[in-house]
Structure 1
Amino acid sequence: MTLSRRAALAAPALALLPGLARAQAGGAAGYPARPVRLVVPFTPAGTTDVAARIISERLQSRLGQPFTVENRPGAGGNVGSDYVAKAEADGYTLLMQTVSSGAINYTLYEGRIPYKPDDLAEVALVTRVPNVIFATPSLPVRTLRELVAYAKANPGKLNFGSSGAGTSLHVTGELLKMEAGVQITHVPFRGAGPMMIDVMAGRIEMGVDNLPSAIGHIRDGRLRALAVTTKTRTPALPDVPTTAEEGFPGVEATGWFGIQAPARTPRPIIERLGTEIDAILKEPGTKAKIADLGGMMPELTPDGGTSPAAFTTFVRAEIRKWGDVVRKSGATVE
């Protein structure tokens, strides 16, 4: 076969290559062409909502389309997560996922959860945050040790609130009860905002929340912080000791918040969103906002950032870890 004949036969195939390249990489070409919804599976004013609004504002600015936050609370985050898992996989419905509905609930609601890990695709980890244990200022305790002593002297009389059954906040409270050997009744709320209102009013004696949504109330004295649940103190509240410092090293828990999408979302869109969010998190303004709330950088990649692949590895490890915690603590939901 002559060279010219070979070239003639190869020409049609070669002509297809640009189109194939566009089909493979062009899933993100022109994206987004219309508004994008970022579903928050909890009520407004909680850490999930705060983190979502920080990211959505910057995505809107960078990508030129509205990124609208939509709150769909219920069942410890399961309602909103299931909604996104079953949404059109086109990149226009995203989820601000949490450690609760993205890891803990798979074991806590085993047999009853309407979606599974493979129904969602990881895009980017946004931040990790300490949990904070706090009390209403009228309760006669100023430290976690004093709270435990008070609970032992008054068995069954204390209640602790969380943003919902099955959240990392609920499980953190259960860990404290297990480690300290105390009887404290869990009271689940439909979000952090309503829970903190009741603690500030003294209707609930104590609560557990992610630091970002509670820090303002702690700083102005409406809530009394007793301990953070990380290995080291947080720069956002340097005077608040860790649970380990207070004598309960087993009570260690870090909340996290990240973006997921329906599992069948085109990979180029997932990668583009992941790259954009990674860049946003490295902006000085975004870093300052997250740090002021007590949040930490993702630190999943060598440069301290995030990526879809790294977030996937992280989520799978979290599912295993929290599954063990749920089983050992005996945490349950109605």
Structure 2
Amino acid sequence: MTAAGEHDADGPLVVDVAVIGAGPAGLSAALNLVRARRTVLLVDANRPRNAATLRSHGFLTRDGISPLELRKLGREEVEAYPEATVVQSVVDRVARDGDGWAVHGTHRGAEFHARARAVVVATGLREEFPALPSLRAFYGTSVHSCVECDGYEHGGASLAFLCETADVVDRALLVASWTDDLVVYTNGTATLDERGRARLAAAGVLVDERPVADLEGDRTGLTGVRLADGDVRAHTGAFVRPLWHADLDWIDAPLDRDADGLVRVDRLGRTGVPGLYAVGDVTPPGPEQLVVAAGHGASTAAAVHRDLVGGLEDLRDAVQ
């Protein structure tokens, strides 16, 4: 093991593990790794996908906490360990460096270099929303993307579901389990076949396939959906189906990615590239509840520690 904050002769910080990303998955991985007495570099760009969300739910003992507060508490817990080094930076390159990994990043013009025996990628996803001018104004308060996280607060309300993708039926039926008053808006984009229409009709879900102009509301929140033809339908809440993008071009390694660009891993976060792990939203099936991501982070941390104990050469043989 390397002492925390140790630098080699050329200057880079040398650690056992670099964890890239400080959401619940990355923080949980970092916390469990320092508790295994591994020296850890935790790098956070401080650009969380859920920054606009006021409350996060379903995290045992922390139900209703602000996501930003949850991240702050987790970061403070990690920083309390002498084995941890926490850096706010954007990582722009991770590449093989001998039997380890070179990590390079920048923050406000300043650069940093580190070397790690293993790297855990926990950078999450970038969301792309339907092109509605006012959507961002209501996102995190009246409009949400995760019904498991925020459905309870809108239970029984008049809800809109904005979806332009092929999985519209399954996702709409999920939202409908929280309310009997749901209208699906396809914005003239998502295609419904007769079977899909029948499934939604049987569940009492209405479908409006007209183009959507925008959302309407005031300081109290969302009040409705305005169609391109000028018609306005009243709603007090909405769920939206974003497109998710995994921006991983900064990793110089042959990652195995699925059709959605997510990193394929085994059940413990191993990518198939020895010494490189991925956890959280950047892995299939994509976005997940915070408590689930944290659990995956802990599992991956255990795998990283075991692999380092056994030697990454052993892991390379096992993968091959």
Q: TM-score, normalised by structure 1?
A: 0.28
Structure with the bigger RCO (C-alpha within 8 Å, sep 6+) is 1
Q: Could you say which structure has the higher strand fraction?
A: 2
Where is the helix percentage greater, Structure 1 or Structure 2? Answer: 1
